[in-house]
Chains A and B, each alone.
Chain A
Amino acid sequence: MAYRELAARNDGTILAMRSRWYDNVGGYVRSPEPGCTFRPIGNWVGPYRFTNLAADAHVVMTNKSLTGPNRGYACGHLYFEIERMVDLLSLRLGMDPAEVRRRNFIQPGQFPYRTPSGGLYDSGDYPAAFERALEAAGYHKLREEQKSARSAGRLYGVGLAVAVDPSVSNMGYVTIALDPAVRARPEYLPKSGAIESATVKIDPLGKVIAILGTAPQGQGHQTIVAQIVADELGVAPGDITVVDEMDTFTRVWGISSGTYSSRFGSVGTSAAALAARKLKDKLVRLASALTETPAENLVFADGRVTARGESGHGLTLKELAGRAHWNTQSLPPGMEPGLEATAVFGFPLADSPDAKDRVNSSNTYGFIAEVMAVEIDPETAAIKILRYVTVHDAGVIINPLIAEGQIVGGALHGLGGALWEELAYDSEGQFLSGTFMDYLVPSAKEAPLVEVEHLATPSPFTTLGAKGLGEASSMTAPAVVANAVSDALAPLGVQITELPITPSRLWHLLEAARQTPRIGSR
């Protein structure tokens, strides 16, 4: 349960936000809770420029279910609150909600941007991505359609939502749970960092093997690492064997290793690329010595290394590997035998919180802009999603197909929480949604068409300029659908302040509004 206040000028400039919330974490605090309260602390202002921010957070233990991280950890409700507030401001000022957002974005020239709560946004062009979304959706046309729909008595709404998409959590953020006075004690051991490791090696037969520390569960890391290593070494992705099983006895790893917090896109790809580059550096030195060609004249392509401008056969990767493994005498002086490189990539700006509880809680920050059009059946209160456009800036996109799958999956995941899924209890504390008959997860039948576009402002902090996007629209879907539904019901004066928006609840809101006389509204 959250209360939020917003201060703004009449021209729509947001000056401050103040919030107070009570986070029900259930029977006990399950690590890394109470992260639902502060995990996105660095991006508490979202994509907006205002610098005055106050948060009064309460964590409450009850006999309800425990809470824990889910996709878009804590960002679904963060942006539901912020973006609902921005729409309420638009309504109050009689301004187009698109215009109010335009007036408050952090500008492209301000990156890297330090937020008032300690976040360091790496890169972005929020206005450009936002305009791209409006254009892709045909925003003005949607507003025209809304006018004619409304005049015909239909409940047609257009919603907007924007968000900063944080990825790669900084281990330091969890220590926000401690009082700054505790963290200041001499015996206190601070926490910070966000690292990932990867190893690339070539066996005696020339087979390239990449070993991950990310422990993927279906996110496609194998495909993406094969692409990255193949690009670096000049071979085909199909020639790379990716080893994805994880064993803490045999793998190089760090305390922050793993697949969570959309870490792979930023830190996993960086480690893989760095390991491949390290190995390539050795291959270059080896090939240079064997062919007596200056390193800068060597070209790695099609599985072989050749001298630039010469048509000769050169050396295949297999031949190079053979020399390195079978004839160590041929190695240049001082070169370590074998062909293996391990890289551990760590973000240098993942510091521990300061004395004012400010922390760069994540390491790369993408951007999401969404437009949704809905129509509500005035009789049944059923919500029909007519259009759903989402534009993402996750820096350099390495595999567009996987990126799209993550975004669409995230969108449906977010809509699940906004429209269907709920850990519900009755007034006696009896749990009501203990099976998938009652805890309603949306299926393919409920999935709207999600129109995805990208903008790419590379991150200056990652090896390939890529950022995470696996959580993506799960953060914005609740906000955009709540804004669209509220917009559809604005003539009746209904505003969505609670999720999920079930048909039964929405119908009761409609009934209450119909029985209350209204004095003019937008």
Chain B
Amino acid sequence: MKPPRFDYHAPASAAEALELLGRYGADARLLAGGQSLVPLLNFRLSAPAVIVDLNRAADLAYIREENGRVRLGAMTRQRAIEFSPLVKSRLPLLAEATRWVGHLPTRTRGTIGGSLAHSDPAAEYPAVATALDTEFVIRARTGERVVRVTEFFVGLMTTAVQPGEMLVEVRLPVLAPNSGWAFEEFSRRRGDFAIVGIAAMVTTEGDRCRSARLAACGAGPAAMRLRGAEEILEQGGLDDRYVDDAAARAAELVDPSADLHASVEYRRHLTRVLTRRALKHAVDRARGAGAQPRRS
């Protein structure tokens, strides 16, 4: 229940952190909010030689809007996201999902960058990022690259971030007009990782579905985009029968595994139920938004 020995560094900025990463490479692990890494250390499932603690790097915690995207510094606390008026109005899907992330005390420590870079298959934020056209800013001492979500999540707890690099920012597109969103989750206890969670976003154009976005967590080795289900809505529309068809398709698309808490069949079934619930909620919200007076 105590971590193995490690060298500890607490850089005061992203630049200092990158210096350290450059020096130690694959021997170093980044410590963000510590909600996953610290238990892994204490169980000795992870034994890095060097810990680079980002909690003093104040320049990595911010939320600001720029060019149609909200940019969140990797060290932005989940609690700050929960209470951000900007997130609430511009990224309501992220705001809604945040209420499912752990508990109040863990959200005061946990960060968006830590959650995304850890990429637990049952975590909420990777599903939200997968549902949207998220951009990930990955920086090394030598430079910076921007990776799209389709390239970021590689597999089970694996991302595109390489040794010597770190995730410094995520950029999420702001809510489009005439859009509705919902995050639905089932877990055995409130605050646990999801057995299955579904992130949904739909954008209407009159009676048509201009775009649909669906992603699942807890139903595969990493967060999964459910493109086949989205297409049913984009081609058919948002009526209940298409929503039902999309939910059924989602259950086929996921790739769940069994564990103590849920069988494969139950996870597939929950995917269907939660996709339907999330879509209905999202469609209601989109139509509510559509009913607002429009500029002519």
**A and B from one complex:** yes
- Please report A residues at the B interface, Cβ cutoff 8 Å: 379-380, 382, 420, 422, 424, 432-433, 435, 437-438, 440, 442-443, 445-446, 502-504, 507-508, 511
Contact yes or no, B43 A440, CB < 8 A: no
The residue in A380, A422, A445, A511 that gathers the most chain B C-beta atoms within 10 A of its C-beta is A380
Q: How many residues of B sit at the interface, in one of the four size bands?
A: 10 to 19
A382 neighbours in B (Cβ, 8 Å): 186
Identify 8 new A-B residue pairs, CB closer than 8 A, beyond the known A437-B192, A503-B186, A503-B188: A422-B260, A438-B261, A446-B189, A503-B262, A504-B263, A507-B266, A507-B269, A508-B263
B44 at the interface (CB under 8 A from A): no
Q: Are A432 and B260 in contact (CB under 8 A)?
A: yes
- Interface hits, B167-225 → A, CB 8 Å: 186, 188-192, 195
B186-A502 in contact (CB<8A) = no
> Which residues of the other chain, A, contact B186 by a CB distance below 8 angstroms?
380, 382, 503
In the complex, the answer to whether A502 meets B270 with C-beta atoms within 8 Å is no
Complex-state Cα separation, A420 to B189, whole angstroms = 9
Enumerate chain A residues within 8 angstroms of B43, measured Cβ to Cβ.
435
A432 to B261 alpha-carbon distance, docked (Å): 10
User: Could you tell me the distance between the alpha carbons of A507 and B195 in the complex, rounded to whole angstroms?
Assistant: 14
- CA–CA, A511 to B192, complex, Å? 25
Which of B39, B43, B189, B260 is the most central at the interface, judged by chain A CB atoms within 10 Å of its CB?
B260
Q: For chain A, what secondary structure do more than half of its interface residues adopt (helix, strand, loop), or is it mixed? A: loop
Assembly CA distance A442 to B192 (angstroms):
11
Contacts of B273 in A (CB 8 A): 379-380
Q: Which residues of A contact B195 (CB under 8 A)?
A: 503-504
Query: Is B255 in contact with chain A by the CB < 8 A criterion?
Result: no
Interface of chain B residues 61 through 82 with chain A (CB within 8 A): none
Contact for A504 among B190, B191, B262, CB less than 8 A: B262
User: How far is it, in angstroms, between the C-alpha of A443 and the C-alpha of B191 when the chains are bound?
Assistant: 10
B259 and chain A: residue at smallest CB distance: A432
Q: Is B144 an interface residue (CB 8 A)?
A: no
A429 to chain B, nearest CB (A): 14
A438 to B192, CA, bound (A): 10
Output the least CB separation between B276 and chain A (Å). 9
Chain B residues with Cβ under 8 A from A438's Cβ? Answer: 260-261
In chain A, what residue has the closest Cβ to B258? Answer: A504
Q: How far is the CA of A438 from the CA of B266 in the complex (A)?
A: 18
Inter-chain contacts of A502 with B (CB < 8 A): 188, 261
Please report the C-alpha to C-alpha distance between residue A502 and residue B187 in the assembled complex, in whole angstroms: 11
B27 at interface, CB cutoff 8 A: no
Task: Chain B residues near A422: list those with CB within 8 A.
Answer: 260
